[in-house]
Amino acid sequence: MEVIDLAWWKLALAALLIVALAITSHLGRLGITRSLLVATVRTVIQLVLVGMVLEALFASSGFLWIVLVALVMLLVAGREVMARQGRRLKGWWAFGIGTGAMFVSSFTVTVLSLTVVIGPEPWYAPQYAIPLLGMMLGNTMTGVSLSLDRLNAAVWQQRAVIENRLMLGQTWREALEDIRREAMRSGMMPSINAMAAAGIVSLPGMMTGQILAGSPPAVAVKYQILVMLVITVGTGFGALIAVSWGGRRLFDERERLRLDRLVGQGH
């Protein structure tokens, strides 16, 4: 099946719907007109630039270029994780823990999926590696940021309870057990909800894109199942690592709670 290309003027027609929404929101005094238009412009510019980069990357297929793009994606995702936390660790710890957790989980699962499951030649073929890693990082970023935000906020709110548990002889892991469990649950819930609703409530993005590009629905379904499974695994391990590292950082070597290592709301 031939892929139908979209002319830019047709995309401009679709953009008019955004303009209509912006006008409606302005007349209704909703306060989102500016952010809506800025987000639209950023989306167009960013995706056009990404498209140009990917075309050049697909043409060269150089391993070092793929590694460079992957590192840029990881660093940007790490910055977003840090920015999304209402209360976070001081210094580079907020950035380092989130970025490290995503690196270990997302890159490991992506490499395993490419080498063991999909098996392109070469294994780092950019048309498979970059989109898969992008979806992994995007979802893991959400899970890690939600987990760390929930962890830090709960520790701040329940500091008296934690300190009482420590005085009763519990270790830092035991004192944080309930909070860590809730933080993990918070980070995993978006992925679990997405899997539960896939195919019935909504058609996932990758499957929809493949079908629109002309792939047989059966093939698109297989790839979507793979993507959702590995995304959930990556998000789960990423949240687990982030909560473990972040929780340990909140205590010193003598297992005393160190709230002075947190900055954010209320400081």
Q: Is the pLDDT assigned to residue 96 strictly greater than 90? A: yes
Q: Is the pLDDT assigned to residue 267 strictly greater than 70? A: no
Q: What's the pTM?
A: 0.82
Please tell me the distance from the alpha carbon of residue 261 to that of residue 91, in angstroms, as a whole number.
9
Q: Percent of the chain at pLDDT above 70? A: 95
| 65 and 57 Cβ atoms separated by less than 8 Å | yes
Which band of pLDDT confidence, cut at 50, 70 and 90, is reported for residue 201? Answer: low
User: How high does pLDDT run on average in the chain?
Assistant: 88
Specify the higher pLDDT residue, 6 or 137: 137
Please tell me the distance from the alpha carbon of residue 107 to that of residue 207, in angstroms, as a whole number.
22
* 1-19 burial: b if 16+ Cβ within 10 Å, else e: eeeeeeeeeeeeeeeeebe
At residue 220, the pLDDT reads: 82
pLDDT digits (tens, 9 = 90+) for 210-237: 777 777 888 888 888 888 899 999 999 9
pLDDT digits (tens, 9 = 90+) for 54-64: 888 888 878 89
Q: Is the pLDDT assigned to residue 115 strictly greater than 50? A: yes
At residue 3, the pLDDT reads: 64
Q: Which of 37-41, 47-51, 95-99 has the lowest mean pLDDT?
A: 47-51
